[in-house]
Amino acid sequence: MISQIIFVLALGLTAFYVSKRVMLIRKSILLGKAEDRTDQPAERFKNMLLLAFGQKKMFNRPVVGILHLLVYVGFILINIELLEIVIDGALGTHRVFAGFLGSFYHFVINFFEVLAFGVLAACVIFLIRRNIVKVERLQASRHVEMKGWASLDANIILCLEILLMSAFLTMNAADSILQTRGLGHFAEVQTGSFAISQYLVPLLHSSSDGALIFVERFTWWFHILGILFFTIYLTYSKHLHIVLAFPNTYFADLEPKGKMQNMPAVAEEVKIMLGLSQAPETPAEIGGFGAKDVYDLSWKSLMDAYTCTECGRCTSSCPANITGKALSPRKIMTDTRDRLEEIQRGWAQHGPEFKDEKSLLGDYITDEEILACTSCNACVQECPVMISPLNIILELRRFRVMEESKAPQSWNMMFQNLETSMSPWKFSPDQRMDWNR
């Protein structure tokens, strides 16, 4: 009875804490400006199925794609067994589903064990790639945003998944031995040995009854408490993308890549100048241009920041980064998330009205970074979950140029030429056809 009470309390506390974190993250995302992303629901649902559930873009790099799919699908499916663990933990039963599933139960656990072994193997390979092979896009020595917590976070998750899968297999091995020995409630359910854990049985077979019961109970508790810890940890980790990938791909921009979103106020002014629109009798008050802080970005850009997987595909494809410039699209996203988390800490210390003197542009992201961007959309094309670092870069750049008039001199010359000659070059418009010669 005591273990059942502890179990139910652990579930309740986890649900309470996770719900608080979810509400805090939601509040942070809604700091952004309103933006309608509800059009074309069929196309959006298709994107979600292909990219979040089907992980279509991951297979642009096939080996990594297969390994990632194995970890993703394996971990999700294996944790279906949590339903049985929850029922057993709450009611004090043992393998409650075995009774009415019969021989099919043996098939299901065998399937889960094969998946568990696949997840374990894939996580080991990922650890080797990060720490021994040292894949360039994942290294802190090359990318400042991967220093400290970013690298540690990835290793913690991979090690935790290895431990959870090992606990699952060890639990099954110990349980199968205890069944053959006819001890207590283990004798009530005869499932036999399973596909993978049977190879661990020889390692445990010589153990005493008490030691086996301890191993079985320890790994059972480790597995469930590990999952609960993982659920809480997820809300602090880059692995939040496991959940947010679905809404993020659904609400992604459906416009063709390369089509920039014009600022409505500026676009309307241009239409009036060209005679394509009538000037209003009372001119509308124009707000600020671009974004200096997260409050000025759209809610979708803030969701992008929380969804970032930190895989580095964007950065490894960025021509500015490849040629040694300061820009890293991945850093743009992690900086945005770090700024949001700083605001969260301010709320915790000073209340919901907290404001500080810091801003995303300047304190986190530098002018050198945003000016290096060529707006080529390579980062957007490469992202597996349709994140757009370019949207944030454009808004920050618009603020610097249009609000503070801090464009590079070469840009100002180009802007002047566009205004007077309708081209980036200082040639008369009536000589336009001569430019091609």
**pLDDT of res. 101:** 80
Domain that holds residue 190: 55-240
Q: Answer whether residue 214 is part of any domain.
A: yes
Q: Answer whether residue 433 is part of any domain.
A: no
Q: Cα separation of 5 and 14, whole Å? A: 14
Higher pLDDT, 60 or 25: 25
Structural domains of the chain, count: 2
Q: What is the pLDDT of residues 73-109, one digit of tens each?
A: 887 777 777 888 888 888 878 888 887 787 888 888 8
Query: Secondary structure of the chain: what % helix, strand, coil (to 5)?
Result: 70, 0, 30
Torsion angle, alpha carbons of 204, 209, 212, 218, to 10: -170
Torsion angle, alpha carbons of 263, 266, 267, 271, to 10: 170
- 349 and 406 share one domain: yes
- 296 and 216 share one domain: no
- Position 430 pLDDT exceeds 80: no
Q: What is the pLDDT of residues 296-333, one digit of tens each?
A: 999 999 999 999 999 999 999 999 999 999 999 999 99
Q: Whole-model pTM?
A: 0.88
- 106 and 192 share one domain: yes
Q: Answer whether residue 322 is part of any domain.
A: yes
Query: Are 104 and 112 in contact, with CB atoms under 8 Å apart?
Result: no
Q: Answer whether residue 270 is part of any domain.
A: no
- 65 and 166 share one domain: yes
Q: Cα separation of 224 and 84, whole Å? A: 11
Q: Cα separation of 247 and 302, whole Å? A: 13
Q: What is the pLDDT of residues 161-210, one digit of tens each?
A: 999 999 999 999 998 998 888 877 777 778 878 899 999 999 998 999 99
Residue 330's CATH number: 1.10.1060
Higher pLDDT, 2 or 330: 330
